[in-house]
Chain A
Amino acid sequence: MAKLTVDQNAVFVNIPYDDGFRGLYLAYIVGLYQFGLKPRVTLGIPGGNRRLDRILDLIQSCPFSIHDLSRVQLDRTPPATPRFNMPFELGLAVACAKLAQNPQTYFLFETKKRRVQKSLSDLDGTDPHIHGGTVVGVMSELCNAFARQKARPTVPGMMKAYRRVSAQLSALTENAGASSIFTARVFEDICVAAKIAADEVYSK
C-alpha cells in the first residue's frame, strides 16, 4: 500500500452538494481559508469501485475533518430517501481517527440543537457545533472549532471575505464554463478566490 502524504493544513469537508446549501458551502471554503487551512471535498472523485478507496485516501490525508449533518431529512425527489453520504463519511472519519496511524481530529456541525443526539445516538456525549443554517453561524462555529495564535480571524473579517467571493460566484462559475458551483473546477477556483479575499482581510 502506498504511503499517504498528509498535508498539515488540509481539512476534509463533508457537506451536502445541493442548491439549498450553496451559501454554507461557500462559507466553509472562505472560512477555512481565513484560518490558513485548505478544504478538501469529494467533488471530482469519479464513481465506481475506486471511489470509496479514494474517499478513504482523502480522509486519511487530512489531519482535520468537518462533518455537516444538516441534511438528515428526506429529499423531495422520488423515491424519498435520506442522505446517507454524510453520516457514512463521518463513520469512515471516526474509524480513521480511532484506527489510523495518523490520528484525525473531526468536528461535527449541525443546523439544529439536539438533533444529532436523536439522529445519531451512537455519538452521544459529543458536542456538535450548531450553526443554525446561517453563514454567520458557520463562521462563528469555525472560530469556535479552530484557533490561531497569530493572525486570528474575526467573524466580521470572515463575513467581509465571504461577501467578496459571493459577489463573484457567478463570474467564477461562468469563467470555469460550468453550470453549477458543485464541480471540481469551480471548487478550485473558489479556493483561489477565497485565498485572495483572505489575504485582503489579513493585509488590513
Chain B
Amino acid sequence: MSRRITITTPIPTLDEVVKDLGISNARRDSIVQIMGASKAAKSKRVSVFALQTSSRKKKAKGRAPSSKTLTRKKIG
C-alpha cells in the first residue's frame, strides 16, 4: 500500500474521456446540455437576485429616512 503518489501523466480532455467510455456524441451532447442548463439556471438566479438587490437599493435611496433612524439621530 502507498500513502501518496504523484501523477505525471497529462490530464485527459473531455473528448478523450467520452471516447474512452464509449459514449456516443448524441449522449455526450445531452449530458453537456444538462450540465449547461444547470449553469444557465444558476446564473439566471444570480442575475435576478442582483436585479432585486439593485432595485431595492434604488428604492431605499429615494425613500425618506425611517422614524427609527430619525430618533437615533436625535438621540445621537
* Chain A, residue nearest B11 (CB): A36
Contact assessment for B31 and A196 in the assembled complex, using a CB-CB cutoff below 8 Å? yes
Chain B interface bracket (under 10, 10 to 19, 20 to 34, 35 or more): 20 to 34
Contact assessment for A8 and B9 in the assembled complex, using a CB-CB cutoff below 8 Å? yes
Interface size on A, residues (CB 8 A): 40
Q: How many pairs of residues, A versus B, come closer than 8 Å at their CB atoms?
A: 92
Known A188-B21, A191-B17; contact A147-B3, beta-carbon cutoff 8 A: no
Partner of B12, one of A38, A146, A147, A193: A38
Contact assessment for B6 and A147 in the assembled complex, using a CB-CB cutoff below 8 Å? yes
Contact assessment for A191 and B21 in the assembled complex, using a CB-CB cutoff below 8 Å? yes
Q: Which of A133-154 contact B (CB under 8 A)?
A: 144-149, 151
Q: Is A126 interfacial (CB 8 A cutoff)?
A: yes
Q: Mark A68-88, 1 if CB is under 8 A from B, else 0.
A: 000000000000000000000
A-B contact pairs, 7 of them (CB 8 A): A64-B5, A145-B3, A151-B11, A189-B23, A195-B12, A196-B31, A196-B32
Contacts A172-B31, A196-B14 given; 6 further ones with Cβ under 8 A?
Answer: A127-B1, A145-B3, A147-B4, A149-B6, A192-B18, A192-B21
- Chain B interface residues toward A at CB < 8 A: 1-12, 14, 17-18, 20-23, 27-28, 30-32, 34-35, 38-39
